[in-house]
């Protein structure tokens, strides 16, 4: 296996170059969880995996959330993720205890003791009989004498989510809401810890493979010991390939359809194709790392051409048109630029807007 083979497999396994899933919840289930701290970006991360034969629109993703099919909450590494209602409970059971334990020091700094958290959780149970926006929840906390200043409010919400009490709900205008998890997600499958570790590894390597063990540790937040055990339990489902001294794991199926070249994608900020690995040298020349990821950890939207990150992009809606600005690391050929334009048009279909490339 070569570096080019790794890229080809990732495009396929990430559902960017393969037969698309039919619905947003099928895409979220394929990944297990998708990075979601930027709400608009995770919606396009789902839409970008529609393929050319069909289009999952922004509206369709919103409808999947309102229909209680997919849900957003704090999971891997304590960051926001999009998952399915069927998966959220076993993921929380597996991952939340370490995240809660790891937050103890910060909670002490904020003077958030267990009594305060319990009062807050009881309040959420009482007031979240209907979806409430963050400002409304914060107002309710303040009225109950629970201070929210200095990130206290944020940590109260995240602790409630990790405890399996709340999750994000549907949008109210431009405001995101919170709901009670018990009213949003029915009971899902119950796994032993070993079964859950194996299932998380299965979701990761089928959607991100070929990937290394350190990649899986980075993405999941598991210990190296847990990650090794999880991979060992999947020995009949995975195969390994050594490339440049690194061991890559991937599903035990090397058959890949041909991919036309050039093919381009405009992927959102924080997309799994780039963020979902500890090391990213296979898809990006290291000279450009700091142009893709800012010093404070913001992952910018990327232009991908035949699997390689070749630039970053942004969009601005002007007079009902999504205007796409490109910042390329190297000049594009005329045919490559046409591929990027086709990618921009797919993004426009997701937004249900016409698109244009900025001059």
Q: What is the pLDDT along the chain (359 residues), one digit of tens a residue?
A: 899 999 999 999 999 987 777 799 999 999 999 999 999 999 999 999 986 566 899 999 999 999 999 999 999 999 999 999 999 999 999 999 999 999 999 999 999 999 999 999 999 999 999 999 999 999 999 999 999 999 999 999 999 999 999 999 999 988 999 999 999 999 989 999 999 999 999 999 999 999 999 999 999 999 999 999 999 999 899 999 999 999 999 998 766 777 788 999 999 999 999 999 999 999 999 999 999 999 888 999 999 999 999 999 999 999 999 999 999 999 999 999 999 999 999 999 999 999 999 97
Q: What is the pLDDT of residue 51?
A: 66
Beta bridge partners of 318: 321
Q: What is the pLDDT of residue 1?
A: 87
> Torsions phi, psi of 337, nearest 5?
-65, -35
What does the block give as tokens for 296? 């404070």
Enter the pTM of the model. 0.95
CATH class of 198-251: mainly alpha
176, 134 Cβ separation under 8 angstroms:
yes
User: For residue 204, how far is the Cα from the chain centroid?
Assistant: 12
Q: Cis ω on the peptide bond leading into residue 262 (within 30° of 0)?
A: yes
CA distance 148 to 199: 37
For residue 196, what are the contacts with CB-CB under 8 A and spacing of at least 6? 90, 91, 93, 94
What does the block give as tokens for 224? 């190296």
Q: Which runs of consecutive H residues, i.e. helices, occur in 256-313? A: 272-275, 289-292
* Secondary-structure breakdown of the chain: helix, strand, coil percentages, each rounded to the nearest 5: 45, 20, 35
Residues found in the chain:
359
List the 34-35 sheet strands across, edge first.
34-35, 80-84, 70-74
Q: State the residue for tokens 């109210």.
A: 172
For the packed helices 58-66 and 24-31, what is the interaxial angle rounded to 10 degrees? 80
Delimit the CATH 1.10.10.10 region(s) of the chain: 198-251
266, 256 Cβ separation under 8 angstroms:
no
Residue 245, phi-psi category: left (phi > 0), alpha (psi -120 to 50), beta (remainder): left
What does the block give as tokens for 346? 């797919």
196, 94 Cβ separation under 8 angstroms:
yes
CA distance 131 to 115: 25
Q: What is the pLDDT of residue 288?
A: 95
259, 291 Cβ separation under 8 angstroms:
no
What does the block give as tokens for 258? 């041909």
């Amino acid at each position: 296996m070569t570096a080019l083979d790794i890229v080809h497999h990732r495009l396929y396994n990430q559902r960017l170059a393969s037969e698309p899933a039919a619905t947003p919840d099928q895409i979220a289930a394929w990944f297990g969880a998708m990075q979601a701290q930027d709400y608009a970006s995770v919606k396009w991360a789902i839409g970008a995996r529609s393929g050319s034969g069909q289009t999952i629109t922004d509206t369709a993703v919103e409808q999947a959330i309102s229909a209680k099919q997919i849900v957003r909450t704090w999971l891997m590494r304590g960051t926001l993720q999009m998952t399915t209602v069927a998966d959220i409970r076993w993921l929380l059971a597996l991952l939340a205890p370490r995240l809660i334990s790891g937050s103890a020091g910060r909670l002490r700094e904020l003077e958030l003791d267990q009594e305060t958290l319990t009062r807050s959780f009881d309040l959420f149970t009482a007031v979240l009989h209907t979806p409430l926006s963050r400002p409304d929840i914060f107002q309710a906390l303040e009225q109950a004498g629970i201070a929210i200043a200095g990130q206290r409010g944020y940590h109260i919400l995240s602790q409630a989510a990790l405890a399996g009490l709340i999750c994000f709900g549907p949008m109210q205008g431009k405001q995101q809401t919170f709901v009670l998890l018990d009213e949003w997600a029915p009971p899902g499958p119950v796994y032993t810890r070993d079964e859950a570790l194996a299932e998380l590894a299965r979701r990761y390597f089928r959607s991100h493979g070929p990937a290394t063990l350190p990649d899986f540790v980075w993405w999941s937040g598991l210990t190296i010991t847990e990650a090794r055990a999880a991979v060992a339990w999947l020995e009949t489902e995975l195969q390994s390939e050594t490339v440049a001294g690194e061991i890559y794991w991937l599903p035990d199926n090397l058959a890949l359809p041909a991919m036309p070249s050039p093919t381009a994608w405009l992927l959102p900020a924080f997309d799994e194709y780039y963020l979902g690995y500890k090391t990213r040298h296979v898809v990006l020349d290291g000279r450009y790392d700091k142009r893709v990821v800012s010093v404070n950890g913001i992952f910018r939207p990327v232009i991908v051409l035949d699997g390689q990150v070749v630039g970053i992009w942004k969009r601005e809606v002007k007079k009902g048109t999504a205007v796409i600005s490109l910042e390329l690391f190297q000049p594009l050929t005329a045919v490559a630029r046409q591929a990027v334009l086709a990618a921009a048009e797919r993004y426009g279909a997701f937004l249900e807007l016409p698109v244009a490339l900025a001059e």
